[in-house]
Amino acid sequence: MTKHTDHDSGLAKQFFGRLVRHRLNARQRSRRQRELQALNRPKAALIVGVGSPNGIGGAIARRAAEGGLHVYVAGRTADKINATAADIGSQATPIVVDARNTANIQRAFRQIAADGYELDLVVHNVGTNRPKSFMDITTENFESAWQQDTASGFEVARQALAAMTEQGHGTLLFTGASASLRGKSGFALFAHAKAGLRMLAQSLAREFGPQGIHVAHVVIDGVVDGDRVRDIVPGYVEGQGEDGALSPAAIAETYWQLHQQHRSVWTHELDLRPFKENW
């Protein structure tokens, strides 16, 4: 039997000590390399859930471009996102993304990485606000609303946070609704999906905030003065009077302010509504 000496133990300690130091130094070099690479990469924003230029998604994309970011405009209707990207100009790239399709979302993130951009801002702006009597809701309706509003938020967050934790910074914003706070009669579909999204955002904020990533949830309470409501219910916005509906540009400005917040005063949740909204 071989007898181990103090000398042998000392050599083993030196060997393992050098091994640990080597690995730590390698990690530090790798981290510094990533930081240097990040400094050389242009920054981008991804807005998921963009329709026409005159809507929340389009307004956020425009404001992000004005703030100096290259903006990826993602939505499921090619004509609308192309029009929005054209309205913004050369700082915008349209990507057709159906938020219900996980592969679509993943492809968008791969494209941004392949284009050489660092993701500074990601916004999940997806909603299925349609009233429907509870007894008329099918299982398929219920699952579809969850898939579009909640599961899409999960996949967007999963992809965004993977990139942002690697960078050590970034902003992830979710467009919420007052339905996430209270389920009104006739809105069970919308309420269950948005409530799930709100809890997801809150959990992510607590987990990833300490890692330098700002996660926030914005409650939109009221009618938005965009093309969607003007097309569906002509004259409704005018009937609300001056500033009776939320301005997409004003909403976008608030999102940009959230993105610019100093990390000593990060907001997780805020609500936006017209000054005369009954709440």
What is the tens place of the pLDDT at every residue in 40-94?
799 999 999 999 899 999 999 999 999 999 999 999 999 999 999 999 999 999 9
Q: Is residue 89 part of a domain?
A: yes
The answer, yes or no, to whether residue 107 has pLDDT greater than 70, is yes
The H or E element that residue 170 is part of is strand 170-177
In a domain, 235, yes or no: yes
Q: Which two tokens stand for residue 64?
A: 């992000």
Per-residue pLDDT tens over the stretch 129-157: 888 999 999 999 999 999 999 999 999 99
- Number of neighbouring beta carbons within 10 Å of residue 29: 10
CATH number at residue 108: 3.40.50.720
Cβ atoms of 9 and 58 within 8 Å: the answer is no
Over residues 95-118, the mean pLDDT reads 96
Rounded to whole angstroms, how far apart are CA atoms 15 and 7? 12
- Comparison of pLDDT for 30 and 147, the residue scoring more: 147
Spatial distance between the Cα atoms of 81 and 165, rounded to a whole number of angstroms: 29
| Assigned domain for 6 exists | no
What pLDDT, on a 0 to 100 scale, did the predictor assign at position 38?
54
Token pair in block for residue 265: 């005063």
The model's confidence at residue 4, banded by pLDDT at 50, 70 and 90, is: low
CA distances from 207 to 142, 178, 219, 240 (A): 29, 24, 21, 40
- In this prediction, residue 16 has a pLDDT band, given cuts at 50, 70 and 90, of confident
Residue 214 has pLDDT above 60, yes or no: yes
Phi-psi region for residue 212, left (φ > 0), alpha (ψ -120 to 50) or beta? left
- Give the domain range for residue 147: 42-272
- Provide the domain count of the chain: 1
* Residues 179 and 172 sit within 8 Å (Cβ to Cβ): no
Mean pLDDT of 104-112: 97
Give the C-alpha separation, 68 to 142, whole Å.
39
pLDDT tens profile 155-172: 999 999 999 999 999 999
Place of tokens 């097309």: 231
Q: How far apart are CA 234 and CA 6, in angstroms?
A: 88
Whole-Å CA distances, 242 to 230, 233, 245, 271: 15, 17, 8, 20
> Across the strands, what pairs with 106?
none
Give me 189's structure tokens. Answer: 């579909």
Label residue 35 by pLDDT band (50, 70, 90).
low
This prediction has a pTM of: 0.84
Residue 61 lies in a domain: yes
pLDDT computed for residue 228 by the predictor: 76
pLDDT tens readout for residues 168-197: 999 999 999 999 999 999 999 999 999 999
Within a domain: 24: no
Q: Does the residue 187 lie in any domain?
A: yes
- Cβ proximity of 254 and 218 under 8 Å: yes
CA atoms within 13 A on the CB side of 203: 10
- Work out whether the CA dihedral 264, 269, 273, 278 comes out positive or negative: negative
In a domain, 217, yes or no: yes
CA distance 271 to 277: 12
H-run or E-run covering 16: helix 6-40
Residue 256 domain-assigned (yes or no): yes
What is the C-alpha radius of gyration for the chain, rounded to an integer number of angstroms?
Answer: 23
